[in-house]
């Protein structure tokens, strides 16, 4: 990494000896474009999130994951005017956040590029209550993006949703098609926006955790852990080792049931009833195991601020996990030996490595495109051992690669749970028998940081305390930022589940020479939630 002058990267280098994984630095609005360009070009750096705060001025924060450095870098820039440099021109992953910040805070990137409606629904009619925002309302409301009804005399937009098929979340697709091929795809998710970041304001972190877990029920542990971790950093507390171990076991159980559900959905999308039934048997066993071990089928209420509420029933876990895993493993092996199924996934919904990097994708979607990011390895947290080894991912970037990544991760999660159950074995997780064609990845350097309390290279905001938290959900990196006021109440909480990152790769995947019937397969292979995006 090139370190020059007094840039954020030099701040990271300066913080190298301070044993902190989060570096916060101030950047002026005039320097923002240049510094963003510099960090975006640094090897191993990716834009993990961007959000704003306040009204006068609006404080713009960019969260960079410096994976090879095992650090997060947060730049904070006060925006005194109505606009700021168009960062998505430099880092395309910032576009969705630019739209969101315009809706919520009224500041926009320069250049007048069209911004989409992301979260705040359109006015519902006269007499309706004004929707609350995190900052001030924009001068002009953003619009839903629609394709022209005719493109080149051939294509038209086919509306689908928001009420969709049975047992799936509401979501509106605008499918631009010439009849069969997906030329383009738009999504509107504001039908499900619940204003969760707004709801956390003025609450204690412990009160807010109730809604944070329900932002995305299928990621309650990961999102709860990231949020709790952020709050703990702000409060200056650290959970005990057993509590961290408890969270980590719950997180792997969450990964297992989500991967099982994704595999069942893949089979359903391909019309493979036997495969679906096999995966759902394993899925139900895993939910029952969750209930037996932690008291809740979806692991709600496990994570607490400063620790964990529930002590796992390790006996039930040891007894039940092999059966559920065996069911899932046998089903996975049978699926990979079913040519008609494999053929259906091959070359479907391809995400190239370049697209995955450009859009800042995370989790199995990124790892199936050759981008091996995993916060359990790249950003030390929790009880993970210094020699943790996990599958590196798969090449290909298609739905088949994503299925294989999930199957590999199922095996790795079971190994990790077994190791977490055995304190002695904690240092022996993984090994040469772990699956993964490219060989397992490992954090051989071990955890260099003991806590995620931010290292502030310059004075931050004069009031309140803040912190960044993260966890590796089944969908990838989940991030949270919490800032408390002097009474310990939340002034601003930012929730960034992995779904927020990965949905922006979904339309790219659908466009890549796919037809209508590929869309359910691609959606299942991404296994995202609308709730996580429309939080």
Partner 1 sequence: MTADIAIEERAAAELRREVARQFGRSLHIRTLDTGSCAACEQEIRLLAAPHYDLHRLGFFFTPAPRHADMLLVTGPMIRAFAVAASKTYEAMPEPKLVVATGACALGGVYPDDAFTYGRVDGVLPVDVWIPGCPPSPLALLQGLLVAVGRLAEKVSGLSFIARSPEGAHEDATAGGAA
Q: Which residue number, 110 or 163, has a Cβ lying nearer to partner 1? A: 163
Q: How far apart are CA 429 and CA 406, in angstroms?
A: 18
Q: Residue 526 in contact with residue 505, Cβ under 8 Å?
A: yes
Please tell me the number of Cα atoms within 13 Å of 64 on its side-chain side: 26
**526 contributes a contact to partner 1 by CB under 8 A:** no
**283 contributes a contact to partner 1 by CB under 8 A:** yes
Binding range to partner 1, per CB under 8 A, among 73-81, 159-167, 464-472, 476-484? 159-167
Question: In the beta sheet, which residues pair with residue 72?
Answer: 22, 65
Name the packing angle between helices 498-511 and 95-105 (round to 10°).
130
Q: How far apart are CA 70 and CA 206, in angstroms?
A: 28
Binding mask 74-113 for partner 1 (x = CB under 8 A): ----------------------------------------
> 179: left (phi > 0), else alpha (psi -120 to 50), else beta?
left
Question: Of 168, 235, 310, 336, which one interacts with partner 1 (CB under 8 A)?
Answer: 168
**191 contributes a contact to partner 1 by CB under 8 A:** yes
Binding mask 236-275 for partner 1 (x = CB under 8 A): -------------------------x--x-----------
Question: In the beta sheet, which residues pair with residue 102?
Answer: none
Q: Which residue number, 287 or 504, has a Cβ lying nearer to partner 1? A: 287
Binding range to partner 1, per CB under 8 A, among 276-284, 311-319, 369-377, 478-486? 276-284
Please tell me the number of Cα atoms within 13 Å of 396 on its side-chain side: 19
Question: Of 57, 78, 92, 195, which one interacts with partner 1 (CB under 8 A)?
Answer: 195
Q: Residue 23 in contact with residue 455, Cβ under 8 Å?
A: yes
Q: What minimum distance in Å lies between the beta carbon of 330 and partner 1?
A: 14
**203 contributes a contact to partner 1 by CB under 8 A:** no
Binding range to partner 1, per CB under 8 A, among 5-13, 297-305, 330-338, 476-484? 297-305
Binding range to partner 1, per CB under 8 A, among 61-69, 100-108, 174-182, 187-195? 187-195
Whole-Å CA distances, 413 to 207, 231, 318, 321, 482: 30, 27, 14, 11, 29
Convert 352-392 into a string of H (helix), E (strand) and C (coil).
CHHHHHHCCCCHHHHHCCCCCCCHHHHCCCCCCCCCCEECC
**530 contributes a contact to partner 1 by CB under 8 A:** yes
**72 contributes a contact to partner 1 by CB under 8 A:** no
**475 contributes a contact to partner 1 by CB under 8 A:** no
Q: What minimum distance in Å lies between the beta carbon of 418 and partner 1?
A: 25
Q: How far apart are CA 375 and CA 381, in angstroms?
A: 8
Binding range to partner 1, per CB under 8 A, among 190-198, 331-339, 426-434, 516-524? 190-198
Question: Of 31, 83, 89, 169, which one interacts with partner 1 (CB under 8 A)?
Answer: 169
Question: Of 28, 165, 340, 432, which one interacts with partner 1 (CB under 8 A)?
Answer: 165
Q: What minimum distance in Å lies between the beta carbon of 118 and partner 1?
A: 13
Q: What minimum distance in Å lies between the beta carbon of 317 and partner 1?
A: 19
Binding range to partner 1, per CB under 8 A, among 69-77, 186-194, 346-354, 480-488? 186-194
Question: Of 71, 108, 211, 492, which one interacts with partner 1 (CB under 8 A)?
Answer: 211
Structure tokens at 512: 């890549």
Structure tokens at 371: 């981008």
Q: How far apart are CA 324 and CA 286, in angstroms?
A: 6
Q: Which of 39, 41, 45, 46 is nearest to 25 (CA)?
A: 39
Q: How far apart are CA 117 and CA 340, in angstroms?
A: 40
Q: What minimum distance in Å lies between the beta carbon of 169 and partner 1?
A: 5
**126 contributes a contact to partner 1 by CB under 8 A:** no
Q: What minimum distance in Å lies between the beta carbon of 509 and partner 1?
A: 20
- Buried/exposed 193-204: b ≥16 CB within 10 Å, e otherwise: bebbbebbbeee
Q: Which residue number, 173 or 298, has a Cβ lying nearer to partner 1? A: 298
Identify the sign of the CA torsion 308, 312, 317, 318: positive
Q: Which of 51, 65, 57, 66 is nearest to 29 (CA)?
A: 57
Q: Which residue number, 129 or 139, has a Cβ lying nearer to partner 1? A: 129
Question: Of 30, 150, 163, 241, which one interacts with partner 1 (CB under 8 A)?
Answer: 163
- Helix, strand, coil percent content, the chain, rounded in steps of 5: 45, 20, 40
**281 contributes a contact to partner 1 by CB under 8 A:** yes
Q: How many residues bind partner 1 (CB under 8 A)?
A: 44
Q: Which residue number, 42 or 324, has a Cβ lying nearer to partner 1? A: 324
Identify the sign of the CA torsion 333, 337, 340, 346: positive
**217 contributes a contact to partner 1 by CB under 8 A:** yes
Q: Which helix (H) or strand (E) element contains residue 10?
A: helix 8-14
Q: What minimum distance in Å lies between the beta carbon of 493 and partner 1?
A: 16
List contacts with partner 1 (CB under 8 A): 121-122, 124, 128-132, 162-163, 165-170, 190-195, 211, 214-218, 220, 261, 264, 277, 280-281, 283-284, 287, 297-298, 300, 529-532
């Amino acid at each position: 990494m090139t370190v020059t002058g007094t840039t954020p990267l030099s701040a990271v280098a300066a913080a190298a000896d301070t044993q902190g994984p989060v570096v916060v630095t101030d950047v002026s609005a005039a320097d923002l474009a240049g510094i963003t360009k510099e960090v975006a070009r640094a090897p191993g750096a990716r834009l993990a999130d961007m959000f704003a705060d306040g009204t006068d001025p609006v404080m713009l924060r960019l969260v960079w994951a410096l994976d090879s450095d095992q650090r997060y870098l947060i730049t904070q820039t006060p925006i005194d005017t109505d606009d700021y440099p168009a960062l998505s021109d430099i880092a395309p992953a910032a576009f969705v956040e630019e739209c969101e910040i315009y809706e919520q805070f009224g500041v926009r990137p320069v250049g007048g590029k069209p911004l989409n409606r992301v979260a705040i629904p359109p006015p519902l009619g006269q007499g309706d209550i004004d929707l609350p925002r995190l900052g001030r309302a924009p001068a002009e409301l953003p619009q839903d993006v629609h394709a022209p009804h005719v493109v080149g005399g051939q294509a038209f937009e086919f509306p689908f949703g928001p009420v969709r098929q049975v047992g799936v979340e509401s979501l509106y697709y605008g499918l631009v098609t010439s009849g069969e091929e997906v030329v383009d795809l738009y999504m509107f998710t504001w039908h499900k926006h619940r204003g969760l970041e707004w709801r956390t304001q003025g609450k204690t972190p412990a009160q807010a955790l109730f809604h944070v877990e329900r932002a995305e029920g299928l990621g309650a542990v990961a999102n709860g852990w990231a949020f709790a971790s952020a709050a703990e950093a702000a409060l200056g507390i650290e959970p005990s080792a057993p509590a961290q171990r408890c969270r980590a076991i719950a997180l792997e159980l969450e990964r297992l049931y989500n991967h099982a559900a994704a595999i069942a959905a893949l089979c359903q999308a391909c019309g493979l009833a036997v495969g679906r039934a096999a995966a759902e048997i394993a899925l139900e066993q895993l939910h029952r195991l969750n209930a037996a071990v932690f008291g809740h089928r979806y692991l709600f209420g496990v994570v607490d601020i400063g620790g964990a509420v529930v002590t796992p029933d390790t006996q039930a876990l040891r007894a039940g996990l092999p059966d559920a895993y065996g069911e899932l493993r046998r089903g996975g092996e049978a699926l990979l030996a079913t040519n008609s199924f494999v053929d259906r996934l091959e070359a479907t919904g391809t995400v190239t490595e370049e697209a995955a990097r450009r859009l800042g994708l995370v989790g199995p979607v990124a790892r199936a495109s050759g981008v091996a990011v995993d916060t359990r390895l790249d950003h030390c947290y929790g009880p993970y051992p210094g020699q943790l080894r996990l599958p590196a991912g798969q090449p290909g970037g298609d739905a088949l690669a994503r299925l294989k990544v999930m199957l590999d991760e199922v095996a790795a999660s079971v190994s990790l749970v077994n190791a977490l159950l055995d304190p002695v074995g904690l240092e022996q997780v993984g090994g040469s028998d772990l699956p993964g064609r490219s060989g397992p990845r490992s954090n051989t350097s071990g955890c260099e940081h003991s806590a995620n309390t931010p290292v502030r290279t310059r004075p931050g905001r004069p009031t309140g305390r803040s912190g960044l938290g993260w966890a590796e959900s089944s969908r990838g990196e989940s991030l949270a930022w919490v800032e408390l006021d002097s009474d310990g109440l939340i002034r601003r909480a930012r929730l960034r589940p992995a779904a927020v990152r990965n949905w922006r790769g979904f339309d790219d995947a659908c466009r890549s020479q796919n037809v209508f019937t590929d869309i359910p397969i691609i959606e299942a292979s991404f296994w995202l939630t609308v709730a996580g995006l429309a939080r």
